[in-house]
Every structure is written in structure tokens, then in C-alpha cells.
Structure 1
Amino acid sequence: MTDVPDQLVGVVIAAVGAITPLGGSAEALWEGVRAGRVAISPVRRLPMDQYQTALGGEITEPCTPGYDYAPGCEVRDRSIDFALAAAEEAMAASGLTVAADIPAERWGVAYGTCHAGWRSAELALREVQEGGAPDWRRYTFVPPQAGAEALSAAFGLKGPVLSANTACAASAHALAHALEVIRAGAADAMLVGGSDAFTESAFAGFSSLWSLSAQPAAPYSKDRSGLTLGEGGGMLLLLSRQAAERTGAPIVAEVLGYGLSADGYHPTAPHPQGEGAARAIRAALTSSGLTGDDIRYVNGHGTGTQKNDSAESNAVRAALGGAAQKVALSSTKSMTGHLLGAAGAVEGIVTVLALRDQVAPPTASFTGADPQCGLDPVAGAGRAMVLDTALSNNFGFAGANACVAFARPGGPGAPARAAGPDDVVVTGFGVITSAGEGAEALWDAYAAGLRQGAPQDGLRVARAEFDRSVAGTPRERRRMDKVSQLAIASCRAALGAAGLSPDGDADAVAATGVVLGTAIGPMESGERFTVPVLSQGAQEANPAVFTNTVYNGAAGHVAMALGTRGPTSTLTSGHAAGAAALAVAHDLLRAGRAERLLVPAVEALSPATLAAYRSIPLFGSAAGRRYTLAEAGIALVLETRASAERRGAPIHAVVLGHATASDARGIGRWDPCGDGVERAMRQALGSAGLTPGQVAAVWTNAAGLAAADRPEQAAVKRVFGTGRVRVEAPKRLLGEPAGAGAHLSAVLAFGGWRVGADRRPVLVNSSSLGGTHTSLVLSPLPLLATESVR
């Protein structure tokens, strides 16, 4: 593996773009915020007579991005439109040209969203209720990765492409992951941001929680009464400092560091003292080489609800200490509404422009101090201040917290790495598949050639059944969907296999983080919540179900059930989601963000999900007979080697390297020649310090869809030659567990080593159905003790 340099790579922001209720550009956003202009008014695009309020931060001007992601089709998705519009502004403002200035292969995408294309799902579900047949393309817009792959294709960006979904902290997490991608040397530039559009489900859900305000939100005010929903998108162009200097790109600000943490407290409410949020803020300071005294401005999460605002204020005081009394803490949401998954990006842009112009943004509609908050809200209009550094807070449902630290160009920060990089190893795994519970059941099924699943209305389906009592008491399980129960059960088993118990090793488990991968995510809960709302109205909204409709809900349940409090994130990169989660977890560990991370990949199939798959031509009758869609819950424990050896933990494998590459062909498309997967494999081998001849086997992505399998087959031949490497295709037999495919192959590889298979490294491929490819290189530990591969 290529060593990460001791000195952190400087990362700068070259340009920004936004479309918000305050206007169609980043400068319109900033001018509106600076003036304290409230862009919250009665919503016109949705029927609003059944909710707590008719108000929202709505985008009323036309949004028509230049890239057509659905050629020959009239249907579009507003969340994708918002992302593209903001990206077009940022790319143009940078003055950079893909390929000419920075190679397309060195330019990636990190995209965050809360509801992704759920409005497209609502429109399709309503059409089904009315007896119609929705345009199948609507279903392809629903997953978060669709937005990421549209951005990749729009600008021809062929580097790492990923999507993160941690509810209201999603695009802040995208910023964090993009920072690590650049610092790890996997890209020179990343287009980073997020978007969300209004949905009926969101208004019904927040109304069912009694969280919406009848007036524009008044964060931190003594008489605040709730939040206001908004919509929009924001994008930032991140470059390594070296790339910026080489290309002459503008430098608006620097990204110094970030902090991530889990509350593990409640599905929607924050810890009253802001304990989890304070840990994220402290981590952002530490990673940036800052102290509380360096911070004069914090762009707050500031939703306007009673619990969130006071908890955030407590967190800022706890993290900054006495310096908090000199800090301005204001909320952009008072002017735009809560942009959900786009909030981190849009509020990050506001923070960056505040540093540029040396003005602290205000909190609009402020009516007087609440003693439970008590910090300076910058009431009214923007205030001139000397600002060298600033923080931006974003906290989401399921207790996902994020804080990002920014600086003016040339400001303080970017410390030297405290310690050299460490190997990342696998110390435990828990497995639930249609073959049964435990790795032995999976190994036996594969060795015996037992094909999983059974035909179900034209699509072969393999269900995963398990002892659900492991996930909690009956009362606790009533608040969970199947994907969350799979996550808890597989994670509990993985911790046990790694020699840890939530009861007996509470401190070690508390220091553990969770990085979850899922493609389908909360579709079961989304369907259960949305169908009654669409057919019978908002009065049918179930608040207990709504809390599970975010993709990171399963990770939140793991934290609450097992007591994990370390960094948490949820990766939603389609059928490559589990591989993306493993790659992100590897980079977090190598960067010293944690000593140990649980990395579950979980999938459960709802009726509407299966109906959506059936409607897409790729899964037509012939393909449907060869292809099996499977449920699964598979969790790996990734740990630094030093931590594992200190504990005396079993070491099953070393993660030698990984790489992600994009075909940049668009939603639901891939390169028929296999260019992207070939680049992913070659780059993963390079990062591991290996040649193709040192690899014993390739565990392929092939699952029975010829149009996707053939490009990979051709790429494997180009990289490894014909007959020179063992090729495994487990998903053709065991089914495609969507985002859990990489985990499935990894556990099977461990089993092969256990029974005496060639004990050399293996390469694991995982691909989305939109041309995002991730390859991972795994090795049994004895290789590192007897042979040098570096």
C-alpha cells in the first residue's frame, strides 16, 4: 500500500455554486443571508392544507440544468436538477477544464442527500394507486447514487464517485469523505455537495412529529416553535493545494478538518447536553490543529426546535470551553428553511463566503435570547468580524453528527500527522444471508453449489431469515424495520467474533464507530409511511415509521442498541455501497479517526422495491431468470493492526488497498468495454503495491446480468490475462445482495483461506448499476509476515 505522507495534504475550495430559496446562485444566497432576508413563504408546488404549516423555503424560479440525464424522456427529478444547477455554477466559476487542467480520472464526486429522489417515488406510487404504470425511469432516480452518477456524467468525471446519506448531515459527511479521498491521494479534485427537494412525505413526517413552525423558523429564540422545511442544492469544488497551485485555480477558502460522531441516544432527538455533537466539534478542532480560542464564528445547525437548539448550544459550550462566550453562533436556516441533506453544503458555502468577506451571517426572525441557548445569535443582519477560521455544524436523524472546519486562504491549521499510517485489518465478521445465520452456512452453501432464492412474479428472490430477538426486545423491535434488525444482529455477531461485548467491553465498544453501506436502505419504511399518506392524507402519517425512512436509520439503531459512539456514516453507492463503506472506513482508520469501525452492509426487500426492479427493462424476463435479488446483513470489524494486536484479537485479513472509478456514462449506464472497472482494479492493485501476478483470485461483481457482467469479464482478462487467476462469481449462485456484495465475497474469501485455498491476496469487485466500480485488495495476515508486497 502506498504510504500516506506524514504531512497532511492541503485541501482548498476553488469555487462554489448554489440554488436556494434566496436565488439561483451562490452570490444570491450570500447576499440574501448577509442582509438577513427571509425567503420563507407559502409553498405553491405541493398541496399544503393538511400540515402544521403551509410555509417553506421553496425554489420558485425555473431550474433547467444543461445536462440531460434522461434523454428521450420527459420525467425528471428536482433533487437531481438542483445538484446539477449548483454544480454547473461551481465548475464554471473555477475556470478549470476537465482533462485539460486535471485528468478526468483524477476528478471525483461526493454527494450527500437526505431524501434523494423520493419525490420521484411518490409520483410513481401515486400513479400505481390510480391504476397507472409509471415511467420506469422514475425508479432509477430514487437512489442517492443516481444524483452522484448524474454529476459524474455531466462533467465527465471518472475518479471516485460516492454518495452519503446521514439525513440532515449528509452533505457535511460528503465533504468529510471528499477531504479524505484527496488526502489519500486518490483524486486531485472532488465536486462535493448535496441537494434535496420538497416531498409530501417530509411535510407529513415532520408534521407527525409536531416539529414544524407556523411562522418562519426563529432558531435560538426564546419563543421558537419549530423548524421550517426548505429545498435546494449546493456544490463546492475541492482541490489539493498542489493541484490548485499547478492549475492557477482560484482559492476561496481551505478545508482544515472535520469531526463525525454518533449520539446513540434517540432516533430523532439529540442528547440534551449535546454530548455526541460536542465530540464531533472537538474532533473537528483536533483534526484541524485548532483550539476553541481560534474560533469566533460557528454556522449552527439551528433548526428552531426546542430540543435541537439548546442541545447544540450545550455542545458548543462543552467543546469550546470558556471561548464559547466570545463565539457568534447563527443559523442560515432562519432564512432558507432546513434544506435537509443539502444543508451541510449550502451552510458550508455560507461559512466560506463569510470568511471571504469577513462578515458573520445573522440569525433572522430572532425574538430574544433563550437562557437554554444563551450564545450570540448575530440577530438581524450580518456583522463585520475578523474571521480566520470558522466551523459549520450539521446534525441528523439517527444521531449522526458532523462538524467541518474552514479557514480563509493562508489561515491557521493543517497540522502534521501525529503518527505514521497503520495497517487496517479485519478482526471479526457477522453473517446473515438466505443460506442461514453465520459464515459457516454461507461457506457450506457456496461449496455445495446451492442456488439461493425462488421465482417471485418474474424475479428470483432470496430472503434472509434470522433470530430477530438478537436485535432487541419485542418492544424495541417494533420501532425497527428489517434492515435495522439485520444491521444490529450482524454487528452484534461481528463484535463477538472480534472479541468484544457491548456488556463486558463497554468502553471499547463506545469508542467504535459505524460505517454502513446500503443500496436499498429504508425502502420498507418509506413504503409503509408514504403509501397511506398518498392514499388517505397526512393524518395517516406514522411518526414511529417516519424516523426509519432515512438511510442512516439502521446505523443509528446499531449505535443505540450496541452503544457505539465513534465516527458514523452511511454510504449509499447503489450496488457498490458496501464496498464504498469498506473503502471509507479504511481511509478513516488510516487517517487516525478511530481505532475500530463496524462496517455493516444490509439489504431488505419490500414489495414496492421488487415492483420497481421488475419494471426496469434491465431486469426483464430472461434476465430475471438468471438474476437473483437477495437480502443480507453482513458486518465486518475493521481495526488498526496496532489496536488488534494490543487486544490480542483474531486477524482474518489485511485490507491492502482499494480504488473507485467511474464510467461517467450517467444514471443506469456503464461502459460496455469495462473501462471503469479496469481502472478500479489496476488502481487498487497499485495502492496495494501488487502486480496482477501476485493475486490468487478475483471475486467478481457478476450476478447474471449479461449487459453488466460482460464488461467486467473483458476487463478482468485485460488486467490478469486468460486463465492466470482464479475467477469467482458467487452472486450468480447466492444472489445479488445489492450493497452487500463486497462483504459477501470477502467472507467467502476468508472461508477459502480457512480451508487451505491459495493464501495469496484476492481482489474483490463491486459495481453499481450506474457505472461506479470499487475494487478492494484483501490478504491473509501470514503473507505480510513472510513476504514483502510493498
Structure 2
Amino acid sequence: MTDVPDPAVGVVIAAVGAITPHGGSAEALWEGVRAGQVAIAPVRRLPMDQYQTSVGGEVTEPCKPGYDYAPGSDTRDLSLDFALTAAEEAMASSGLRVGADIPAERWGVAYATCHAGWRSAELALRQVQEGHAPDWHRYTYVPPHAGAEVLSAAFGLKGPALSVNTACASSAHALAHALEVIRSGAADAMLVGGSDAFTESAFAGFSSLWSLSPEPAAPYSKDRCGLSLGEGSGMLLLLSRQTAERTGAPVIAELLGYGLSADGYHPTAPHPEGEGAARAIRAALASSGLVPDDIRYVNGHGTGTPKNDSAESNAVRAALGAAAERTALSSTKSMIGHLLGAAGAVEGIVTVLALRDQVAPPTATCAGLDPQCGLDPVAGTGRPMVLDTALSNNFGFAGANATLAFARPGGPGAPASGIGPDEIVVTGFGVITSAGEGAEALWDAYAGGRRQGVAEDGLRLARAEFDRSAAGTARERRRMDKVSQLAVASCRAALAAAGADGDEAAVAATGVVLGTGIGPMESSERFTVPVLSEGARAANPGVFPNTVFNGAAGHVAMALGTKGPTSTLTSGHAAGAAALGVAYDMLRAGRAERLLVPAVEAFSPAVLEAYRSIPLFGSAAGRRYTLAEAGIALVLERRSSAQRRGAPIHAVVLGHASASDACGIGRWDPSGDGVERAMRAALDRTGLRPHDISALWANAAGLAAADRPEQAAAERVFDLDRVRFETPKRVLGEPIGAGAHLSAVLAVGAWRQAGTRRPVLINSSSLGGTHTSLVLSPAPLPVTESGR
């Protein structure tokens, strides 16, 4: 195979861009931060009379990006505008030209957000409450992946396009995944960052948890009482070092490595000793070739809540040991507030510029250090300091932890060599669909041509019903929405099928990489609708933690005890395929031995109303197209790990590739160029030729605008007289982000039933032209079956 990741590939940061409460550029951000200027002030854009606080880090700089992502509509979304503004600065600052200096096909996007376009959802829901029909474009801004596809289209970037939503750690995860994309050889450049804008739901939610400070937050201080929310965007341009040298691009710093982990402890509170966060810090050091004595500065998560700051300080001590007492730990949030999904990128920019200028940023509002924190917070203003390396911490709801390791150009540290190449195999399945529970029920429905779903008010829907007790006790399930219950139940079944459920150590070492396109819309709607109609007093603190997209992954970790790397990919209808690709890259790089990869989707009333209102799903299409709920989990594992455990091996994941049409929200290239590039790249990276493939498991689901381009591309790549063209979604429905998982389970069933044991290719595409192709091969038959 040709896709072995090369950890020796250096990844550098060539340019940055930002729009924050400090102004409309990265330099304005840095100048405000190093001077210790607090930009947390009374919020003007939203009514603030019902919350714990009236202050926040509001962006007041005019924001007018050049790209029009909704031609024909006068609606905009502020989180998208923030992202475009920051990206315009980063792209211009690099001096690089797409297509001329770096081919568009070798330049990708990794976008992160916590609330995505939820402000647009609030405005649409309020219009519905008032008896008006919202502009349907607003619904298209809500999914996190809209940001990735807007950025791809705005700059013509046709490489991999990912979107990540791990709450407050989102853009740190995006940087980690982009690093692996470049090291795997799938791209030479990645535009990476995050964006979030104020929402009424966020203020109401954090108020309901009594987490907001009435004054600007004072992280690490003995009198701290809560966090300050902020908004804005940060973008970083990552290049392989070879690409930077070839193009003469500037190099501000290096991104050496990262660490990800799960607390598996509580939906909102960190482990009090920082146990999970410490594992993320240690993993970042290990992946970067660093030791604790190399670290003199950590840009902390530092929210200002009593539990977070002491837990983080404990984690830094646990990870760095004696070196922690010589390490500065400061919080950028003291000056601009907590930018949620954008925090990792913005604080990464601050860390990078601190290395450039050799100044440790301050915790501007720290007065009277809490002895339970106890580390040096750099109180007041920035401090000149010799800095060769630095860490940046970001920890999120549902126990998602991330630490990034940066270095000045030519500084110490080097990517760790990993643990050597190994095949990635599938050792277990957990399947819940409208056809029933288990892989056999799914296969029987498909083989029997039993079309799923029934017509419901203009849409054809296939709902998944299952034994809810598999998700936990009645008391445990009360904390979960349906998408979380699907995740826990399918993951529990997959672990059992993989023979890992009784091995406590194996389960603890297992990570979770979840894919979802709809995500927690049931909980988000349940939380937001009362807030919009009755005000913040109607905010339900029991529901709010489930409004983050990674909430389902957090419930898996808490229910099953998984504590390995965790992340959540939100690439729309291609989310599950993106999760499989990210998991594959992490396993190949030695970041884990075993990963649970669930893809889960469940409907809510507002989600279905959004689908009905979007012209793409008009009445004619609605009769041909079925939306389906699903919870399908795969266990991906390094072959060496599976063999040590004596685990069953159902398939080998040979590789994957992604490509973007770069046409914008809800638009495909009608020629099928993007999906063709994804298929050809997947074959190239696995060393296969088209005639080596026995079946193409297509994305086709009954929408002509997407099906016809894929069909045309398939006819150019394959001889369809010799390669089966399977269209399972036309029978079983489109399970949104679980489509790749659906096809993978069916492909294994086909090998068992038909006996044609040759590789297959699986296509999965978002509705905005993000395409992922995966290549699966059957596991070699045991000697007793093969006769050898």
C-alpha cells in the first residue's frame, strides 16, 4: 500500500488570520493580548437582561467577507462571515496562489465549530413561532459542515474537506486531523480553523448551569466565579515543510503533534484530578518528541470556572511533573472570553505568535492566585521569555480533551516515529436501522429488496426502533437523547462482537471517533424552542449538555469506559465516511490501537421541516428519496492488536481519499469531477486498479442532482459491465451520515453470501459536494475454509 503516514513530514504554519473582540486581524488580536487588554464588555447585539451576566467578548469590527455563499438570498450567518473574514486574512498573508503555487486538488479545509449556524436556526424557529415561513437558506447554514464547504468554495480548494465538532475543543481537533491529512500525503496544504457567534441558546444554557461570571472572567484566581463567552474566528494555514520550502512560503512556527483523550467522567465537568487532560498532554509530548523540561509555556484552557481551572492545573502537574513548577500557564480567555469552537484555533494563533515574538501571553484579570491552581499565570501583561516550544490546551463538554504542541521554526522536538505500519481491520459491528437490530437483519432487508420507510407529510422516512435497554438503565437513558442512545447501544454491540467488551483494559484504551450529520438536533430543538418563546428562565440545564455534537461520543465514553482518543466528525451526509477516514489515519499513525467508529442519526421535527422546505427535496424527489435513522458502529483496529486478542477480522480497510467540488453549500459539480477524483485517489493510495474492484457501493440515494454526477464518474473510472454498481440507499434509505457504515456492513454480508472475495469501493458524499471513497478488502479466509 502507498498510504503509510510519514511522521517525518514536518508541518508548518505559514499564515494566520483572525477576527475577535480585539479586532479584525490576527495582529490586532496579538497586540491586545500581549498588552493584557480586556475586551470583555457589555454585549450589544443580543438582549441580555435574563442571563447571569450582561458581558461577553463581542466582535464589534465590521465583518463583510467577499464571498456570497447564498446567491439570491439576503440572509447571512455571522459564524460563516467570521470564518470567511479570518480565512481571507490567512490566505492573503501567505502570498500563495491556489492552482499556481499549490494545486487546488492538493489544498484542503478542516473547519471546526461548536454551535455552527445555530443563530440562523434561532431566527428561523422564531419566525415559525410567529407564523412566518423562514427563508429556507437559513436551514442550510445550520450544519457544521456548511462552514467547510463555504471555505472550500470561496477559495477554490478541492482537496479533503472536514468539519469537526467537539464542543470547546473543536478547532484543536481540526488542527490535529489536518496534521494527519498532510502527513498521510493526502494534501500539501490545509486551511484550518474555527468559528462561533453568539447565540441566545448559549447564554441561556451556560446561565442555566450557573457557569457565567457577572464580570470579565478571572481564570486561576481565588475569587473566580465563572466564564465569559466570546465569539469570532481564527484560521491557520498549514503546509508540509517540503511545500513551504518549494513555494518560499513564510514559516511562523511548526505544529509538532497533538494528544486527544476522553474523560469518560461527566457531561460538563472535568475529572477533578485532570486525569483525562493529563493523558492528552502526555500524548502531545510523546507524538512531538518532547519531554516535560522542553515546555516553559502552556496556553491554558483556563475558563475561569472553579472546577475547570483547578482540574487543568492538576493535569499539567501530573503530565509535566517537577517541570510544571517552572512552567507558565496562562489563559487568553481572560481577555477575549471563551470562543467555544473557535477557541483552539484562536488560542493556537496566540501561542504561535508568542513563539514568534518570545513573549508569554498573560492572564490579564488574574488577581490573587488560587492555591489549588498554583502555577504561574503570567498575571497582568505579557512577559518576555525564551520560548522554543509551547503547548495549547482545549477541553470540551462530554470530556473531549485536546493538547497541541508547537515549536518555533527550527526549535527542538520532532514528530515521533510511531509504532510502525500495520493493516487496519474491522473486528466488530453494531447495527441498528429501520430493518431491525444486527447485521443479518440489514442484509436480509437489502437482499430481499424490502424498501424501508413510509410517507410522512411530504417526506419518506425510515425510523429506527430498538431495545433501548441496550443503551443503559432507565435512569441512565434519561440523560440521553435518541442519537446518544443509538450511539451507546450500537457501540456496546460492536465491542461485544469484537470480543473486547469483557476486557476492561482493552476497553479503557479504546477511543471513539463518531460521525453525525444531524447530530443533537432533538436536544437542541428541545432546549431552544422554550427559550425563544419564554426566555432564559425556560432553559433546561439537564438538556443543554446534549446540544453539543460530541455529546453522543461522550455518552459512549461514560457508559462503556472508553478513554482513548475521541473526536466527532460532522461532514453532513458524508460524516460517517469522514470519521472512518480520520480513524484510519490515527490508527496508521499509531495514535491508538483500537477505535470505535459509530455513525448515528435521529430525526427531530425541525430537522424534518428543514428538509421539506429546501427545494432539493421537493415532492418528486421526496417520493424517490427516503431519509433514515440509524446507529451503526464499526470497531477499527490495528491488525497486530486484533491478533494479540484473537479477535475476529471481518474486513481490511485498505485506504481512503477525499475531494471537494468546491461549489458551495448544497451544490455539486454536475460533471462528477470531485467524486471521480476521490475514487481514483482511493485506488491510487491503495495500489489497486479499477479492474481489481468487484463492486462499487454507491452514494446514490434517489436525488438526481447527486446521483447523476456519481453515475457519470463511475462510468469513467470503471467498466460497469464487470463491476457491480450497488445502490443500497435506494432500498434502505439515506441514513444521513451513516451511509458509508451501511455499505461497509452490506459489503461484508455480500462476501459471505455471494463468495466473491475481492476488494470493494464505497462512496459517500455530502449534499455540498464533499466526497469520500473507502476501499475495503475481505479478510483472508482461515486455512480450514480456504483449503490451503
Question: Is TM > 0.5 for Structure 1 vs Structure 2?
Answer: yes
Q: CA deviation at 1:416?
A: 4.9
Structure 1 pair 126/3, CA: closer, same or farther in 2 (3 Å)? closer
Instruction: Indicate conservation of the 8 Å contact 1:759/1:783, yes or no.
Output: no
CA distance in 2, matches of 1:687, 1:639: 19
Q: Distance in 2 between matches of 1:721 and 1:253?
A: 47
Of all paired residues, the percent bearing the same amino acid is 84
Instruction: Identify if the C-alpha distance between structure 1 residues 136 and 757 changes in structure 2 by more than 3 Å, giving closer, same or farther.
Output: farther
Counterpart amino acid of residue 265 in structure 2 = Y
Distance in 1 separating the partners of 2:644 and 2:68: 54
Displacement after TM superposition at 1:756 (Å): 2.8
CA distance in 2, matches of 1:36, 1:513: 38
Counterpart for residue 615 of structure 1: 613
Residue 722 (structure 1) shift = 3.7
Cα 1:674–1:783 change in 2 (3 A) is farther
Give 1:420 deviation, angstroms. Answer: 2.1
The answer to whether residue 501 in structure 2 is matched with residue 495 in structure 1 is no
Measured in 1, the distance between the counterparts of 2:783 and 2:596 equals 26
Shift of 1:784: 12
Q: Check whether the contact 2:3–2:686 (CA below 8 A) recurs between aligned residues.
A: no
Per-residue deviation at 1:757?
3.5
* Amino acid of the structure 2 residue aligned with 1:463: R
1:451 is the counterpart of 2:451: yes
Superimposed CA distance per residue, residues 663-683 of structure 1 (whole angstroms, 9 cap, x where no aligned partner) = 000011110010000000000
Using the size of structure 2 for normalisation, the TM-score is 0.99
Distance 1:8 1:436 in 2: 46
Q: How much has 1:402 moved relative to structure 2?
A: 0.1
Q: Which string of whole-angstrom CA distances, capped at 9 and with x for unpartnered residues, describes residues 481-515 of structure 1?
A: 000000000000000000011xx311100000000
Alignment of 1:334-733 (within 5 A): 334-501=334-501, 504-733=502-731
Q: Equivalent residue of 1:124, what SS? A: helix
Matched, 1:252 2:246: no
1:548 partner SS: helix
Q: Within 5 Å, which residues of 2 pair with 1:79-228?
A: 79-228=79-228
Check whether the contact 1:3–1:421 (CA below 8 A) recurs between aligned residues: no
Equivalence for 2:241: 241
Secondary structure of residue in 2 paired with 1:273: coil
Assess, with a 3 A threshold, how the Cα gap between structure 1 residues 85 and 724 changes in structure 2: closer, same or farther. same
SS of the equivalent of 1:432 reads: strand
Q: What is the deviation of 1:589?
A: 0.2
Residue type of the partner of 2:404?
A: V
Q: Is the 8 A contact 1:424 1:590 kept in 2?
A: yes
Between the aligned partners of 1:3 and 1:77, the Cα distance in structure 2 is 38
1:54-93 to structure 2, matched below 5 A, reads 54-93=54-93
Look up the SS of the partner of 2:546 in the other structure.
Answer: coil
SS of the residue corresponding to residue 171 of structure 1 reads: helix
**Whole-Å separation in 1 of the counterparts to 2:599 and 2:70:** 30
> Retained in 2: the 8 A contact 1:511–1:564?
yes
CA distance in structure 1 between the aligned counterparts of 2:237 and 2:418, rounded to whole angstroms = 28
Amino acid at match of 2:206: F
In the aligned structure 1, how far is the partner of 2:18 from the partner of 2:418?
A: 36
Check conservation: 2:259, 2:284, Cα contact below 8 A: yes
SS at match of 1:307: helix
Whole-angstrom distance in 2 between the partners of 1:5 and 1:447:
38
Unaligned residue ranges in structure 2 (runs of 5+): none
- The 3-state SS of whatever aligns with 2:648 is coil
Q: CA offsets per residue over residues 224-246 of structure 1, 9 Å max, x none?
A: 01000000000000000000000
Secondary structure at 1:660 match in 2: strand
Q: Aligned with 1:547: secondary structure?
A: helix
Aligned-partner Cα distance in 2 for 1:213–1:416? 41
**C-alpha distance in structure 1 between counterparts of 2:731 and 2:272, whole Å:** 49
Deviations 1:366-400 (A, max 9, x none): 11110110000000000000000000000000000
d(CA) in 2 for partners of 1:724 and 1:671?
26
Secondary structure of the residue aligned to 2:547 is: coil
Amino acid at match of 1:599: V
Alpha-carbon shift at residue 73 of structure 1 (Å):
1.1
Return the offset for 1:6.
5.4
CA distance in 1 between partners of 2:782 and 2:323 (Å)? 48
> How do residues 194-343 of structure 1 correspond to structure 2 at under 5 angstroms?
194-343=194-343
Which segment is superposed worse, 363-372 or 234-243?
A: 363-372
Whether contact under 8 Å (1:575, 1:739) holds in the other structure is yes
Give how far 1:415 is off. Answer: 3.7
Correspondence for 2:742: 744
**CA apart distance, 1:62:** 1.1
Q: Distance in 2 between matches of 1:278 and 1:625?
A: 52
Q: Distance in 1 between matches of 2:367 and 2:457?
A: 58
Instruction: Please say if residues 6 and 420 of structure 1, whose CA atoms lie closer than 8 Å, have aligned partners that are also in contact.
Output: no
Query: Could you say if the C-alpha distance between residues 557 and 418 of structure 1 is closer, same or farther in structure 2, counting changes exceeding 3 Å?
Result: closer
Deviates more, 1:750-759 or 1:265-274: 750-759
Letter in 1 for 2:344: G
Counterparts of 1:110 and 1:373 in 2: how far apart (Å)? 34
- Checking the alignment, whether the CA contact within 8 Å between 1:701 and 1:766 is kept in structure 2 is yes
- Counterpart of 2:13 in structure 1 is 13
SS in structure 2 of the partner of residue 170 of structure 1: helix
Tell me the alpha carbon deviations over residues 352-378 of structure 1, each in whole angstroms, 9 at most, x when there is no partner. 000000000000111111011000000
How many angstroms apart in 2 are the aligned matches of 1:4 and 1:633?
30
Alignment partners' CA distance in 2, 1:650 and 1:230: 48
Task: Tell whether the 8 Å contact from 1:330 to 1:377 is kept in structure 2 after alignment.
Answer: yes
Q: Determine whether 1:31 maps to 2:31.
A: yes
Cα pair 1:428 1:637 within 8 Å, conserved: yes
- Preserved contact between residue 17 and residue 90 of structure 1 (Cα < 8 Å): yes
CA contact (8 A) 1:434 1:463 kept: yes
When normalised by structure 1's length, the TM-score is 0.99
Deviations 1:54-82 (A, max 9, x none): 10100112100011111121101000000
Structure 1 residues 251 and 607: CA distance shift in structure 2, 3 A: same
| Inter-partner Cα distance in structure 2 for 1:187 and 1:621 | 40
Q: Deviation digits for residues 292-322 of structure 1, max 9, x if unmatched?
A: 1000000000000000000000000000000
- Could you tell me how far 1:4 is from its partner in structure 2? 2.4
Farther off after superposition, 705-714 or 715-724: 715-724
- Assess if the C-alpha contact under 8 Å between 2:167 and 2:549 holds in 1: yes
2:587 and 2:319 map into 1 onto residues whose CA distance is 23
8 A contact 2:108–2:159 mirrored in 1: yes
Letter in 1 for 2:145: Q
Aligned equivalents of 1:765, 1:756: Cα separation in 2: 21
The offset of 1:629, in angstroms, is 0.3
Length, aligned pairs only: 784
Q: Provide the C-alpha distance between the structure 1 equivalents of 2:334 and 2:580, rounded to a whole number of angstroms.
A: 37
Provide the C-alpha distance between the structure 1 equivalents of 2:395 and 2:80, rounded to a whole number of angstroms: 23
Match of 2:754, SS state, is coil
CA distance in structure 2 between the aligned counterparts of 1:628 and 1:235, rounded to whole angstroms: 37
2:761 to 751, 760, 763: 763
CA contact 1:6–1:419 (8 Å) conserved in 2:
no
- Give distance in 1, aligned partners of 2:304 and 2:420: 43
Q: Say what the alpha-carbon RMSD is for the aligned residues.
A: 1.1
Q: 1:5 to 1:732 in 2, by over 3 A?
A: closer
Q: How much does 1:783 deviate?
A: 8.1
Contact 1:665/1:671 (<8 A) preserved: yes
CA drift of 1:3 comes to 4.6
Q: What CA distance in whole angstroms lies between the structure 1 residues aligned with 2:712 and 2:40? A: 54
Q: CA deviation at 1:418?
A: 4.0
Contact 1:166 1:173 in 2 (8 A): yes
Quick check: 1:760–1:783 contact (8 Å CA) kept in 2? no
Kindly provide the amino acid, as one letter, of the partner of residue 527 in structure 2: F
3-state secondary structure, aligned to 1:258:
strand
Listed one character per residue, the Cα deviations across residues 256-308 of structure 1 (whole Å, up to 9, x for unaligned) are 00000000000000000000000000000000000110000000000000000
Alignment partners' CA distance in 1, 2:684 and 2:755: 24
